[in-house]
């Protein structure tokens, strides 16, 4: 079975915002920034269907209550999520433009306040 299809069925915009509302601080700025980059890339009309399916599967994995490492585990709980998000970013990096980055940074700053430039660079190195 295609895991992106499986987890893509978990995705909805409301579920994503609920996940962030409940776990954003625990997940950390890197995980949230990576997810926001994917979310805003998905919103672009120029992003092709195959890339949008990757985004849906990737964000669906983040939302899913069942994953490789439970998200309730301190520190390491989001390690697998960041790995899957990084894979999604690398795969669709051609569709993450300046506007996508600016939207993601704006939302991240709204939620976290000042964010470490290094955290952003750590995520963007996958692009």
pLDDT over 90, % of the chain = 41
Phi, psi of 72 (to 5 degrees): -80, -10
Q: What is the DSSP string of 27-50?
A: H-HHHHHHHHHHHHHHH-TTS-HH
Read off the pLDDT band of 71 (50, 70, 90): very low
Lowest-confidence region among 23-27, 53-57, 110-114: 23-27
pLDDT over 70, % of the chain = 75
Using an 8 Å Cβ cutoff, are 70 and 77 in contact? yes
Instruction: Write down the pTM of the prediction.
Output: 0.78
* Beta strand spans in 1-127 (E): none
123-to-50, 72, 86, 116 alpha-carbon distances in Å: 22, 22, 7, 11
Q: What's the CA gap between 96 and 10, in Å, rounded?
A: 23
């Amino acid at each position: 079975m295609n895991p992106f299809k499986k987890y893509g069925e978990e995705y909805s915009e409301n579920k994503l915002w609920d996940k962030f509302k409940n776990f954003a601080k625990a997940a950390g700025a890197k995980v949230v920034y990576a997810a926001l980059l994917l979310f805003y890339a998905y919103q672009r009309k120029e992003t092709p269907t195959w890339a949008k399916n990757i985004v849906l599967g990737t964000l669906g994995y983040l939302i899913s209550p069942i994953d490789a490492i439970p998200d309730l585990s301190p520190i390491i709980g989001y390690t697998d999520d960041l790995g899957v998000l990084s894979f999604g970013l690398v795969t669709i990096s051609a569709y993450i433009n300046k506007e996508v980055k600016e939207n993601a940074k704006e939302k991240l700053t709204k939620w976290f306040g000042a964010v470490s430039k290094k955290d952003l660079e750590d995520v963007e190195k996958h692009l």
